[in-house]
Every structure is written in C-alpha cells, then in structure tokens.
Chains A and B, each alone.
Chain A
Amino acid sequence: MTDDMVAQLAAFIAKNILKTPNRVIAPTEALLSSGLVDSFSLVDLALFIEDKFGVLIEDTELNAANFDSLEQLAALIRSRQ
C-alpha cells in the first residue's frame, strides 16, 4: 500500500510538476530542500493529495520541516487517513 502511494506521488510530481514523466524519483530523495519541487508547485501537490487520498495538508505544513521526501510525505498522509 505504502509503495503504491509513493509511486503515485512520484508519478504526479514527475509528470505534472517536473514535466518530465520519465524522471525517476527515489523514495528518500530530497524534494523541497533540494529545490526539485519549487514553491509554486506546492499547492498543486497539496490539491493532488486532497483529491487522491482525501487528506488535507495545510499551507503552513508545506515546507521541508514537515516532509522532504516521498517516504515522509506518504507517512504524513497515512497518519491522517
């Protein structure tokens, strides 16, 4: 289940945020602190999570202190499902 969530998040980020669908993102790769996902795309990520997993991520939580990798993000989502 977890892997599936990570894969869905990775596919969304690669296709819709990075615009390079073939880009492989490792589950532990830094997303925010590395600048890979820029601040203008964070809302998109939050809205995708809301639609796909039914979990609300507050805008004040959209920073590297709360999650920086796919693994951490998936854990955050699961903790609220």
Chain B
Amino acid sequence: MLTLTGILRNQFQTSPAQTAITLQQAGQADMPISAARLLENAAAYAALYKRHGIQPGEVVILILEHGEQLVYSFFGAVLQGAVPAIMPFLTEKLSPERYRADLADLIAITQPAAILTYPQFEVEIQAALVGTLTAPALLLTSEVSGPAALDFELLPGSSCPPDSVAVLQHSSGTTGLQKGVALSHTAILNQLEAYRTAIRLTSQDVIVSWLPLYHDMGLIAGFLMPILSGVPLVLMSPFDWVRAPQRLLQSVSQYRGTLAWMPNFAYNFCTQKIRERMLEGVDLSSWRAIINCSEPVRWESHSQFLEKFKPYGLKESALQTSYAMAENVFGVTQSDLTRGPLLDEIDRQGFLHQHVAQAAQDGQPSMRMLSSGRPLANTEIRISGEKGRILPERQIGEICLRSNSMLSGYFHREDATEKALRNGWYYTGDYGYMAGGELFVTGRKKDIIIIGGKNVYPQDIEMLVSQVPGVHAGRTVAFGVFDETQGTEEVVVIAETDEQQPEALQHIADEVRRYVTKNSAVALRLVQLVEPRWLLKTSSGKTARAANKEKYLAETILDKP
C-alpha cells in the first residue's frame, strides 16, 4: 500500500519537469511550479522540521497565506512524516483577540509540535501561546532559504505506515477548530481512486481552483488530487477571486481548464457580479465539469449560471454536483458526468409534513430537487430513520455512510468520534433521500449553518451574542435562513433584551453585529431584538432553534405587506 510520499517520489522520478501547479496572484505574473521545484522546496521545509526535532506523526500547524510557502511547507511536512494542518490566516474581519483565543483552543486539543508562520506574524502567534501548557515550537518561513536536495531514502515520510494519520483538517469557528478530522494515507488514496473514477480524471485534464486550502473541497479536489494524480493545477487565491470572480473564468479560458469545484453561492456570485466587459475573449468551451458541492445544491443557481455564461461557450453538460465532507476525505457522491444530476419535482406537502419525497401531483404545490449524484464506488449510503430503522427509497432520514476512505477519528477527541461513528457507519447529521440510485440532500439534523460552503456553528454565535451588554445572557438564538438571491444561507440572530428605547435598541443591535462579526468572521446583518420571554425553550431549558426559526419566519412573513 502506498503513502503520499511514495506517490510524490514516483512523480519526482518519472516527470520532474512537468508543471504541477501554476500559482496565480493578482497583480503578479503567473508562476509555474514543476514537480521537481515543488518537492525540492518541500525538502527544505522537511529539513527545517527535522532541525526542530519534529517527529513523524507529530502535527505541524501552518498559518500562512495563499502562496508558494504554504504549498512547500505543506508537502515538507508530508515528506517529514509529520501531519500538516492548515489554519486560516488572520483577516481584517476577525479581532486579533478572538484569533488568539481560537488558536489557543486548537493548540490545547491538537497539541501540535510546531507552528509555522511568517516573521511578521511571529509576535501575534507568541501572544496566543502565552498560557498554553505545552507550547509548540514556533518556526518561521525565513529559516528556509531555497530548495534542498531530495533523498527519499532518508525522508521519514517514505516509511510512514499507510494507516497513520497523514493530514488534519479543521472547519472554522470555535467549535470547528476543536474537531480536527484526522485522515490516513490509506483513506486519502482510496478516496482519490474512487473520486478520480467517478469524474473520469485523465492527464489531459486541467483543474482550476480558487478555493481556500483549509477547506476540504479546496484541500482535496483543488490541491491534493491534482498534485498526487499528476494533473496540472491552476491555483488562485480566494482573496483575489472574491474581489474579482471573473478571474476564475479567465483562468479557465487561458489554461483550457476542464474541471472546477465550488459551493452553490459562487454560481450566484459569478452570475451577479461579472460584467460583459470583464469577459472579452473568454472561451469556456474546455470546461467539462463545474462541480457544485459543500452546501445544498440549487437548480436555480445552475440555471442562472448557464444562461449568463452560455454565450462564452459554457456547456450545459458541465453543470455537475457532488455531496462531500471531510469525514470521507472528500466526495461521498458524484453526479454522472455524461448526463448530469437528476432533477426531481416532488410534492411540497408530503415533503414538509410526512418526510417523504413523492412525485409532484398535478395542481399541487411542488418543489424542484437537484440530486448530488450516485455514491462513489468505495462508499455505501443508507438513510436512517428513527431508532436506526433503514428507510426505503424516497423516505427522508439521516444520511449515513460507510467506506474505505473514512476519517481515522476526530483528533484527540474520542468522545466526538464515538458519537459520530456507530458500527462502522458515519452519521452525517444531514437529511436526505435516495431515488433512482441518486442522493438528494434536503436539510440538516444538526443546526449547523452553511454560508458560502463554510460551516458556522450556531452555538458559537449564540455564545458571542450573550456577551453583548444589554442582551440577556443565554436568551439568544442563531439560525440560518436561505437567501434566494445569494444562493446560500444568511445568519439570523434573535436576542432578548429589557431595553425599549429605539436608540438604545439600535445601539445594542449594532453592537451585536459588530461583536459577532469581529469574533466569528461571520458577516452578521439580520439581528432582531425581542422582549423577554419571546424565545421558545425546550423542556430541558435549551433553546429550540428550529421552533424559534419557525416563529421568526411566521412573524417576518406577517410583517410584509
């Protein structure tokens, strides 16, 4: 059985000159990085880790922005047999205090052997290390100068057991950072084999990605898969893309890109924000699949996107879907690229009240569901009802999966692992149904809010809101509401207060927005302050998010003329 280092070694020997990554950065010339350059620079990082005594199996946290050093240091950890984990870089949106607190929590649970960052960021990281019991070594990119000689025989990564942990992947937020998904070499390679088959990946493909590498979709589909498969990758920064989404289309056109992945909101974002003048000479005819995953897939989003970009050669057959999660390394299902996802028109009443997805009836209200495709060849899916009963086709229940590419566990979190894995099945917390052999994802059992493909835990938001003066601590609720225009969810916060003066209310609402945004990096806009005892609680005193969401929606609809 192979390991990541084994595959890299093979590439270094067979095609060292082939361009592995074309790195794009706005305002700079594109930078082609060959396999040899990638691995020789990674070797320099492996040597750095070795000098600092990092042992195989130990975690190295990378706090770097999109760019060469992030890519090299990641593979350097792999070559050294260490476990890389990419942490998002501090942005303007997040307060430095919160960033430090999140980092301290991450360190307490993960117990990394080292943190790597830029010299300019050293002070910031040191501040986060104050008070941690086992302080990791703090390494700087300035300690590495240029490529180093590669000797695979001497690299510890060459002798890693295939079932050892290769990579740690976190989702964002306080809760997410405390649950690192540990993925073994075997799991990653099994996933890549199954997923490559599903999308018929060949060496003729070119993958274009703007996704962040701290996210599973970016890390696997937009980074590890192309590099480990010898498929060229054009990698741009998410920061550049969000300021100029046309860059994705321009890159696809320039490099004859064939594949890209993005969350549903990005279809709406591209459709709404790109103007014709930005697309002069753009030709999208090479694009064979744009795969929608990481948040609920919407037929409307696909259809807008197609209409807008069809004049530039976009093919309808390129619009594809997948259901993916870090706990299965990445893909769980994939639509059939030869015919696209299924569109299922179902009866709205049955869906809402009986948890079934029956074919729509004439004259009755219906809704359009888009499938996420078939299970990958290595993955089994079943839909679980109450008390673990396995449900038949078209009945809605919790999506459970079993495969040879599952997580080894949540890192240092046996409690969370035990909860999620039962008899070899991973309980996803997502609801859905099977029909015609394909999976339709309908919603979530867990209260997680997904904004633009990023998981947001409502408990994190509620905790923050409770800290704002004027708000009744513990009497607050956060949930997601789907926004049709944006094609993703928007967070709504409801908080109880005794205050009644309009100006004071305005001040508290402003403060809630500011405080939540600075401490969670979630742009919070919809804040509703309510009188005491507005919120519904369960018999155990917990806030019932779903019930409060219904109450909010009912009132909001009544308010509208």
- Do A and B make up one complex? yes
Binding site for B on A (CB under 8 A): 18-20, 22-23, 32-36, 38-44, 47, 59-60, 62, 64
Cβ A35 vs Cβ B517 within 8 A: yes
Cβ A60 vs Cβ B26 within 8 A: yes
CB contact between B273 and one of A34, A35, A47 (< 8 Å): that residue: A47
Bound CA–CA A57/B198 (angstroms): 42
Known: A35-B93, A35-B94, A35-B517. A43 touches B525 (CB 8 A): no
Bound CA–CA A19/B94 (angstroms): 20
- For residue B269, which residues in chain A have a CB less than 8 angstroms away from its CB? 40
- For residue A19, which residues in chain B have a CB less than 8 angstroms away from its CB? 525-526
Cβ B452 vs Cβ A35 within 8 A: no
CB contact between B452 and one of A32, A40, A41, A59 (< 8 Å): that residue: A40
Bound CA–CA A39/B94 (angstroms): 12
Q: Sorted from nearest, which 5 A-B pairs have the closest CB atoms? A: A59-B244, A35-B93, A59-B243, A38-B523, A19-B525
Bound CA–CA A35/B509 (angstroms): 16
Cβ B273 vs Cβ A43 within 8 A: yes
Interface string of B204-245 (1 = CB under 8 A from A): 000000000000000000000000000000000001101111
Cβ A39 vs Cβ B239 within 8 A: yes
Cβ B525 vs Cβ A44 within 8 A: no
Cβ A38 vs Cβ B93 within 8 A: yes
Cβ A32 vs Cβ B245 within 8 A: no
Cβ B518 vs Cβ A35 within 8 A: yes
Cβ A18 vs Cβ B243 within 8 A: no
Since A36-B514, A43-B273 are in contact, a sample of 18 more A-B pairs with Cβ atoms closer than 8 Å, ordered by chain A residue number, is A19-B525, A19-B526, A22-B506, A23-B510, A35-B91, A35-B94, A38-B517, A39-B91, A39-B242, A40-B242, A42-B243, A43-B242, A43-B245, A44-B273, A47-B273, A59-B243, A60-B26, A62-B243
Cβ A35 vs Cβ B275 within 8 A: no
Bound CA–CA A34/B91 (angstroms): 10
Bound CA–CA A59/B26 (angstroms): 8
* B92 touches A (CB below 8 Å): yes
Q: Shortest CB–CB separation between residue B100 and chain A, in angstroms?
A: 16
- For residue B509, which residues in chain A have a CB less than 8 angstroms away from its CB? 20
- For residue A59, which residues in chain B have a CB less than 8 angstroms away from its CB? 26, 240, 243-244, 247
Query: Which residue from chain A places its CB closest to the CB of B509 in the assembled complex?
Result: A20
Q: Shortest CB–CB separation between residue A14 and chain B, in angstroms?
A: 11
Bound CA–CA A80/B243 (angstroms): 20
Cβ A20 vs Cβ B525 within 8 A: yes
Question: Would you give 25 A-B contacts (Cβ < 8 Å), ordered by A?
Answer: A18-B525, A20-B509, A20-B513, A32-B92, A34-B92, A35-B91, A35-B93, A35-B517, A38-B93, A38-B517, A38-B523, A39-B91, A39-B239, A39-B242, A40-B523, A42-B243, A43-B244, A43-B273, A47-B275, A59-B26, A59-B240, A59-B244, A60-B26, A60-B27, A64-B92
- For residue B452, which residues in chain A have a CB less than 8 angstroms away from its CB? 40
- For residue A20, which residues in chain B have a CB less than 8 angstroms away from its CB? 509, 513, 525
Q: Shortest CB–CB separation between residue A32 and chain B, in angstroms?
A: 6
Query: Which residue from chain B places its CB closest to the CB of A43 in the assembled complex?
Result: B273
- For residue B247, which residues in chain A have a CB less than 8 angstroms away from its CB? 59
- For residue B506, which residues in chain A have a CB less than 8 angstroms away from its CB? 22
- For residue A18, which residues in chain B have a CB less than 8 angstroms away from its CB? 525
- For residue A22, which residues in chain B have a CB less than 8 angstroms away from its CB? 506
- For residue A36, which residues in chain B have a CB less than 8 angstroms away from its CB? 514
Q: Shortest CB–CB separation between residue A55 and chain B, in angstroms?
A: 14
Query: Which residue from chain A places its CB closest to the CB of B245 in the assembled complex?
Result: A43
CB contact between B92 and one of A33, A41, A43, A60 (< 8 Å): that residue: A33
Query: Which residue from chain A places its CB closest to the CB of B93 in the assembled complex?
Result: A35
Bound CA–CA A40/B242 (angstroms): 6
- For residue B92, which residues in chain A have a CB less than 8 angstroms away from its CB? 32-35, 64
Q: Which of B85-141 contact A (CB under 8 A)?
A: 91-94
Bound CA–CA A47/B275 (angstroms): 9
- For residue B242, which residues in chain A have a CB less than 8 angstroms away from its CB? 39-40, 42-43
- For residue A23, which residues in chain B have a CB less than 8 angstroms away from its CB? 510
- For residue B521, which residues in chain A have a CB less than 8 angstroms away from its CB? 35
Q: Shortest CB–CB separation between residue B524 and chain A, in angstroms?
A: 10
Query: Which residue from chain A places its CB closest to the CB of B527 in the assembled complex?
Result: A20
Bound CA–CA A62/B243 (angstroms): 7
Q: Shortest CB–CB separation between residue A41 and chain B, in angstroms?
A: 8
- For residue A64, which residues in chain B have a CB less than 8 angstroms away from its CB? 92
- For residue B243, which residues in chain A have a CB less than 8 angstroms away from its CB? 39, 42-43, 59-60, 62
Q: Which of A19, A44, A47, A59 has the most CB of B within 10 A?
A: A59
Bound CA–CA A62/B275 (angstroms): 17
Interface string of B491-504 (1 = CB under 8 A from A): 00000000000000
- For residue A35, which residues in chain B have a CB less than 8 angstroms away from its CB? 91-94, 517-518, 521, 523
- For residue A41, which residues in chain B have a CB less than 8 angstroms away from its CB? 523
Q: Shortest CB–CB separation between residue B255 and chain A, in angstroms?
A: 19
Bound CA–CA A64/B275 (angstroms): 24
Bound CA–CA A43/B245 (angstroms): 9
Q: Shortest CB–CB separation between residue A71 and chain B, in angstroms?
A: 18
- For residue A34, which residues in chain B have a CB less than 8 angstroms away from its CB? 92
- For residue A47, which residues in chain B have a CB less than 8 angstroms away from its CB? 273, 275
Query: Which residue from chain B places its CB closest to the CB of A33 in the assembled complex?
Result: B92
- For residue B514, which residues in chain A have a CB less than 8 angstroms away from its CB? 36
